[in-house]
């Protein structure tokens, strides 16, 4: 159990989390959220209270079961008080949870509370995982069970989030450890049923611990049944539990999703002013998409908060997403020379032809501003592939392309002999990765430019002359491009471009982005790798991530 950073321990017991300061006015995903109420204009901040003189806690020095000497209180909850204690038999410090219940509590409820404490000990003792607190002993004193646990020095995630929020990488790291504890529990037939920030400890040396299995459900254990409805913290309870349905591992994963949302956004997505309203929001409210969490972490949170447990990702998928979100950022890229952008319209934005008959059926219309370019380099400098990715060697385009494992491969159905192209598309159809090559030996019309940059600008010039894209889509003068300037690939000069536009679907026009790499091989073949994805919304960050990894891990066969 945790030492929650009392005055005697904060100074010399640091934890390893990285905390962002709280926002003056936190973002509120829904109305009626109690966190939304700002102070009245001009209201002065309350002065800090003077420190109270230190006095020994009542009970300090008491010896429990002839072995555990109580030293000081660490914290308290609904059913007990946690003490720091000295195990005088083996001379080590431990955490001891004392059962504390109201004196007027009916005997049946008192018996249930004590049984829950015994259940907490049994559930935790069944698990062998570094992210689960170790239970050493259960000492029965006057018929009341005192749980003796390892002492984890640190703070609860709940106390940390009252001071600020975590960045996405740190939240993902914590989520990975909690997920590991839940996987161990589920494998042992234990549902935690109360995953929340106050039950997650941030210990020393980066250790994360999931605690408080007091309301856990143990498979095959029927000695304790819930009375008076559900148990647990309403804003973290999965919808199926609110509806009285039998919970499963997906219910604990839902709670983890709420924790990750609160850890990064600074507000709980479902908390309201009272329990009934909170439960209604759990059942019916759709949280605003995360803003501080992007990419894989946003995908994990959005997936875990699906109302139907059958639609939530399983633990393996969540682990892959959290690993991607927790991975350190790539090393800073060297500065990209901007000289190649000096010509043109002065703003570095031009129009572009995206290749020969890509057959992707994307209309063009008005667009938003172009995004910043990625540095394009190739393996072996790219490093290992992200989890869930794989490579495919494509003989026709003489290159190896890297894509997420679930992407579907396709090639043009009625291609010409000189058309070499392969495309991989994600299951939703929102993101695609396409690689084409124009062969020097087949270039009888001398259409291939002398360099990658010249090919890129020639595409721009071709569009300006013809007024149409070669993408089986109507032209639109407001589509914008942003050339990347000088880019290297395999140590040779290359070129890159970002195209932004809106589809010409009159019923549902959608913003899109396309990242393109141009590379001319030593044989004179011109390669074009294009990655397209939504230009706004939840999938934009994921699309840019796919573009970055696909561009960085492309490998061209050089002879």
Among residues 134, 150, 166, the one where a domain terminates is 150
Instruction: Work out how many domains the chain is built from and give that number.
Output: 3
Residue 338 pLDDT > 60: no
Annotation says 194 is catalytic: yes
Do 315 and 197 have their domain in common? yes
Q: How far apart are CA 215 and CA 225, in angstroms?
A: 10
Which candidate, 329, 412, 416, 333, places its Cα nearest to that of 374? 333
State pLDDT tens for residues 306-336.
999 999 999 999 999 999 999 887 665 544 4
Same domain, 141 and 205: no
- Is the model's pLDDT at 512 over the cut of 70? yes
CATH code (residue 99): 3.30.200.20
* Runs of H (alpha helix) within 392-537: 452-466
What pLDDT does 289 receive?
87
State pLDDT tens for residues 276-304.
Answer: 999 999 999 998 888 888 899 999 999 99
Strand order in the sheet with 399-404: 389-394, 399-404, 555-556
Residues contacting residue 491 through CB under 8 Å, at least 6 positions apart: none
The answer to whether 273 touches 516, Cβ cutoff 8 Å, is no
Reported pTM: 0.51
pLDDT band with cut points at 50, 70 and 90 for residue 528: very high
Percentage above 70 pLDDT, the chain: 67
Question: What number is the average pLDDT over the span 45-73?
Answer: 74
* pLDDT for residue 138: 81
pLDDT at 25 over 50: no
Shared domain for 259 and 291, answered yes or no, is: yes
Residues 136, 164 within the same domain: no
Is residue 363 assigned to a domain?
Answer: no
For residue 127, what pLDDT band results from cuts at 50, 70 and 90? confident
Q: Which segments are annotated as binding site?
A: 97
Q: State the average pLDDT over residues 488-495.
A: 80
Give the integer Cα–Cα distance in Å for 144 and 111: 9
Say which of 194, 198, 486, 525 is annotated catalytic.
194
Question: How much is the mean pLDDT over the chain?
Answer: 75
Q: How would residue 463 be classed by pLDDT, with cut points 50, 70 and 90?
A: low
Torsion angle, alpha carbons of 129, 133, 134, 137, to 10: -150
Q: Which domain holds residue 88?
A: 62-150
Mean pLDDT of 183-193: 86
Q: What is the pLDDT of residue 5?
A: 41
Q: In this structure, what are the phi and psi dihedrals at residue 549, rounded to the nearest 5 degrees?
A: -70, -40
Whether residue 381 contacts residue 554, with contact meaning beta carbons closer than 8 Å, is answered with no
Q: Are residues 414 and 545 in the same domain?
A: yes
pLDDT reading at 17 higher than 60: no
Residue 513 sits in a domain whose CATH number is 3.40.1000.10
Q: Report the pLDDT value the prediction gives residue 106, as an integer from 0 to 100.
A: 78
The reply to whether 126 and 88 lie within a common domain is yes
pLDDT at res. 78: 55
Helix, strand or coil for residue 201? strand
516 SS3 class:
strand
Q: Tell me which residue of 287, 302, 27 sits closest to 165, measured CA to CA.
A: 27
440 — pLDDT class (breaks 50, 70, 90): confident
Q: CATH no. for residue 291? A: 1.10.510.10
pLDDT tens digits along 131-166: 888 888 888 887 788 888 889 888 899 999 998 899
**End residue of a domain, out of 308, 326, 344:** 326
Dihedral angle computed from the Cα positions of residues 40, 45, 46 and 50, in that order, rounded to the nearest 10 degrees: 170
Which pLDDT does position 103 carry in this prediction? 65
Residues placed in the known binding site for ATP: 97
């Amino acid at each position: 159990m945790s030492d929650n950073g009392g005055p005697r321990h904060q100074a010399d017991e640091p934890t390893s989390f990285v905390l962002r300061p709280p926002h003056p006015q936190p973002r509120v995903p829904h109305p009626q959220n109690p966190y939304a109420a700002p102070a009245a204009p001009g209201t002065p901040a309350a002065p800090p209270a003077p420190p109270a003189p230190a006095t020994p806690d009542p009970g300090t020095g008491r010896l429990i079961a002839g072995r555990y000497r109580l030293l000081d209180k660490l914290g308290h909850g609904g059913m007990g008080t946690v003490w720091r204690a000295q195990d005088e038999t083996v001379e080590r410090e431990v955490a001891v949870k004392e059962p504390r219940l109201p004196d007027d509590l009916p005997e049946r409820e008192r018996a249930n509370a004590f049984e829950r404490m015994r259940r907490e000990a049994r559930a935790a003792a069944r698990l062998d995982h570094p992210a689960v607190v170790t239970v050493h002993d259960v000492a029965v004193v006057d018929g009341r069970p005192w749980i003796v646990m390892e002492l984890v020095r640190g703070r609860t995630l709940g106390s940390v989030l009252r001071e600020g929020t975590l960045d996405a990488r740190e939240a993902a790291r914590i989520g990975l450890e909690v997920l590991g504890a839940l996987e161990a529990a589920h494998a042992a037939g234990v549902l935690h049923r109360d995953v929340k920030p106050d039950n997650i400890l941030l210990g020393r040396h980066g250790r994360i611990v999931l605690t408080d299995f007091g309301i856990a459900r143990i498979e095959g254990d029927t000695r304790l049944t819930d009375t008076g409805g559900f148990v647990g913290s309403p804003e973290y309870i999965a919808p199926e539990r609110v509806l009285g349905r039998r919970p499963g591992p997906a219910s604990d994963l839902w709670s983890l999703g709420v924790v990750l949302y609160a850890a990064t956004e600074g507000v709980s997505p479902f908390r309201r002013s009272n329990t009934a309203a909170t439960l209604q929001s759990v059942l019916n409210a759709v949280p605003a998409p995360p803003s501080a969490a992007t990419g894989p972490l946003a995908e994990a949170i959005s997936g875990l908060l699906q109302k139907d447990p059958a639609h939530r990702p399983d633990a393996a998928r969540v682990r892959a997403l959290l690993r991607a979100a927790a991975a350190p950022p790539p090393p800073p890229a060297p500065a990209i020379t901007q000289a190649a952008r000096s010509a043109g319209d002065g703003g570095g934005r031009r129009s572009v032809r995206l290749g020969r008959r890509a057959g992707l059926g994307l209309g063009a219309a008005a667009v938003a501003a172009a995004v910043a370019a990625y540095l394009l380099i190739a393996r072996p400098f790219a490093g290992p592939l992200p989890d869930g990715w794989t490579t495919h060697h494509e003989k026709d385009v003489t290159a190896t392309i890297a894509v997420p494992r679930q992407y579907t491969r396709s090639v043009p159905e009625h291609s010409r002999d000189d058309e070499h192209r392969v495309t991989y598309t994600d299951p939703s159809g929102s993101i695609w990765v396409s690689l084409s090559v124009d062969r020097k030996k087949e270039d009888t019309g001398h259409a291939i430019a002398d360099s990658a940059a010249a090919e890129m600008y020639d595409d721009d010039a071709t569009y300006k002359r013809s007024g149409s894209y070669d993408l089986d889509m109507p032209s639109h003068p407001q589509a914008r491009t942003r050339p990347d300037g000088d880019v290297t690939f395999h140590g040779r000069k290359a070129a890159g471009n970002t195209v932004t536009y809106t589809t010409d679907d009159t019923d549902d026009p959608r913003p899109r982005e396309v990242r393109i790499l141009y590379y001319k091989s030593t044989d004179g073949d011109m390669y074009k790798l294009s990655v397209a994805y939504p230009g706004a919304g939840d999938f934009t960050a994921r699309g840019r991530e796919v573009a970055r990894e696909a561009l960085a891990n492309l490998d061209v066969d050089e002879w």
